[in-house]
Amino acid sequence: MRLVVLNSCEGARTSLTDPYAGVATTLIQLGVPAVVAMQFEISDEAAIVFGEELYTNLIGRQDPIDAAVAEARKAILIEVDDVEWATPVLFMRDPKVELFSFVVPAAPLPPPPAPIPIGAPDADRPDGADEELEATTSGPVRQVVATGVAGTGNGDGDSTAGDGGSGGRWKRWAAIGGGAAVVAAAVGGLLLAIDGDDDPGTSESTATNVDSTAQTAPRVPSGEARPHTATLAFEIVERNGDIHVFELDPRGGQTAQATDRPGAHDIEADWDPASNHIAFVRTNATTGRCTGICDVVPKAFSDDTGRRVEQLINPQNGIRHHQPAWARDSSLYYAATGACAEAASCSSDIRRATFDRQPAQDDPNFIDRWTVATDELALGGVEDLRDIDTDPQDENRIAVVGSGGVHIARNGSVEMRLDGSDGAVTVRFAPDGSRLVALLDDGGMVFWNRDGTPLVTTDMSTMLSTFVAQQGASAGDLDPAAVRVVSISSNESDAEFVALVDQPDSAGPPEIVVVDFGDDGRPVVEMWSRLPASLTSIGVLQSIAR
């Protein structure tokens, strides 16, 4: 035995008087050359990421154990959080002695999964894509004793996963284990962009684009829609009542926590795909350096430790700042609401801030510092403001939801009120800005062209029922007639909209539905899948940030 990996809590700790009283140190004393153990409690997510990376590097790449552990730490840092990477500890009897002496060269490692763009017909999908998406396990793994725990499978996998009728563009991939992969596929079109050299939304380009001079210029060329992100961001109500922002990296289905202030409620998150900043509203925090509208660059998109939460819009006494919405030029629209008498309608101003960006070379916890350069009134007197979204084609144009429905405003003037928008709760532009959708308080969904022409009014249960009937997919344990849309996002790949839905009385995880427009000009479900268990195990998903 050359190595023992103790993926359990506090195996690295020992007594203050006897170095060999702990589990790991005892194993070293007993002759095991190397032990990896945890010095603190470790989350399931971090333990899983660590194990995967450790073996891939130690055996697959034939790295020394030190290097393999370092790579696994880095994976935790990127995929899980900015503290747990230090939880694993490497004990060795003699660090200079290698664990293994490989006679044959390192095995070639498998390439990353091929991205699958939304809307690709089955015939266009690469061979074996079904198996990859299902993320089931089979193959050379065997059990020492062939009883009890199964050696393969994907949790509570739905037997219908991936076996829908032929000819459909997408089927339902309902197994939790495959959920992340399916969401990854949902943004597959963007993954292709990430692999290119000119993607403006990737971490690498963001990190390197933060140069040494302050800048306020738009990062998206005029006339082009802003780039799509490769990430879904979620607000999750954790079981202790905290609300934090999480992100889902579709490349591997991994999740990362962007905010973690104890006691805080971090809500109304909005992602700026051009800069990878997430603006959000922090309430209920008893400590910390930010209240009201804050921002953070999640670690999964930085090249080191990420950027901690910072104040983005300075608070004002008696004014509530909320509903941040990034524009395509990385300026920020937000609502400023004064004190409202109970039962009275609140009036809000919508303001627009631009920022100076300064590199933070002195502090490694910061990638850059954003300070407000200008802060101007964009639209005044919105009654009972509920939502703001920005036009991906025009940084001066916004959609606003208030008690009077959805209004489109440009340069401080209302262009139009969208017909049929009474009772709207949220509004989103499609990623290319060609259409809008509003979710109504009765569950209805109304679609318009960007010029305000009404397209269709429908609801998610109708679209899902149609999808099930046409595609031959199984509804599994989800009743299409019972679903409700929790939130909508406009920011995923080439899809029109992404909706987070669930069933009011269901104990199951929320599901995610990608909606596109068919050839007949009607919205259709492109994909329908559960969210990964790694997200839903944390708490209750409250919304898709964007």
Partner 1 sequence: MATYVYDDFRVTFTPRPDGSYDVRAVDASNETTQGVFTMPLSEDDLTRAVLQVARSNSRRATPTAPAAPTTLAAATPATRYVGGDGPPAFDAAHLGTLLAGALFTGDIAEHYERATNAGAAKGSGLRLSLSLADAPALVNVPWEFLYRRPRFLASQRHTPVVRWLDTGSLAPPPAIDDTVRILGVIAAPSDLNPLDVEAERRRIEDATRAMCDIDRVELDWLDPATPRRLREVLRDGSYHVLHYVGHSDYTSTGDGVPSSKTTTGDRAPSTARRSPTSCRTRRRCVLSC
* 94 near partner 1, judged by CB under 8 A: yes
Choose between 86 and 482: whose C-beta lies nearer to partner 1: 86
**Contact status, residue 399 vs residue 417, Cβ threshold 8 Å:** no
Q: Which residues pair with 436 in a beta bridge?
A: 429, 448
Q: Tell me the one-letter amino acid at 331.
A: S
Residue 226: count other Cβ atoms within 10 Å of its Cβ. 28
Q: Binding string, 316-355, against partner 1, x = CB under 8 A?
A: ----------------------------------------
Q: Where are the beta strands (DSSP E) in 360-404?
A: 368-383, 387-391, 394-402
- Which of 372, 249, 354, 248 is closest to 310 using CA atoms? 372
* 44 near partner 1, judged by CB under 8 A: yes
Least distance in angstroms from the C-beta of 329 to partner 1 = 30
Q: Which of 122, 130, 163, 304 binds partner 1 (CB under 8 A)?
A: 304
Residue with tokens 């589990």: 23
CA distances, 311 to each of 64, 316, 389, 473 (Å) = 42, 12, 21, 47
**Contacts (CB under 8 A) with partner 1, residues 364-383:** 364-365
**Contacts (CB under 8 A) with partner 1, residues 237-266:** 238-242, 257, 260-263
Least distance in angstroms from the C-beta of 124 to partner 1 = 25
Q: Which residues pair with 297 in a beta bridge?
A: 307
Torsion of CA 294, 298, 304, 305, to 10 degrees: 60
**Contacts (CB under 8 A) with partner 1, residues 407-446:** none
Least distance in angstroms from the C-beta of 540 to partner 1 = 11
Choose between 98 and 432: whose C-beta lies nearer to partner 1: 98
Choose between 123 and 144: whose C-beta lies nearer to partner 1: 144
**Contacts (CB under 8 A) with partner 1, residues 118-147:** 135, 137, 139-145, 147
Least distance in angstroms from the C-beta of 52 to partner 1 = 4
* 311 near partner 1, judged by CB under 8 A: no
Choose between 163 and 304: whose C-beta lies nearer to partner 1: 304
Choose between 44 and 204: whose C-beta lies nearer to partner 1: 44
Distance from C-alpha of 398 to C-alpha of 144, rounded to nearest angstrom: 62
* 43 near partner 1, judged by CB under 8 A: yes
Least distance in angstroms from the C-beta of 60 to partner 1 = 6
Phi, psi torsion values for 80, nearest 5 degrees: -115, -70
Backbone CA torsion sign across 98, 100, 106, 112: negative
Least distance in angstroms from the C-beta of 300 to partner 1 = 15
Q: Binding string, 73-92, against partner 1, x = CB under 8 A?
A: xx--x---xxxxxxxxxxxx
Q: Which of 14, 403, 434, 503 binds partner 1 (CB under 8 A)?
A: 14
Distance from C-alpha of 506 to C-alpha of 503, rounded to nearest angstrom: 5
- Which of 363, 201, 385 is closest to 289 using CA atoms? 363
* 286 near partner 1, judged by CB under 8 A: yes
Distance from C-alpha of 283 to C-alpha of 265, rounded to nearest angstrom: 5
DSSP string, 430-476: -TTSSEEEEEETTSEEEEEETTS-EEEEEEHHHHHHHHHHHH----T
Distance from C-alpha of 459 to C-alpha of 481, rounded to nearest angstrom: 10
Choose between 64 and 420: whose C-beta lies nearer to partner 1: 64
Torsion of CA 201, 412, 486, 277, to 10 degrees: 30
Q: Which of 300, 306, 439, 534 binds partner 1 (CB under 8 A)?
A: 534
Q: Binding string, 474-513, against partner 1, x = CB under 8 A?
A: ----------------------------------------
Q: Which of 212, 287, 317, 413 binds partner 1 (CB under 8 A)?
A: 287
* 70 near partner 1, judged by CB under 8 A: yes
Write out the two tokens for 367: 């990638």
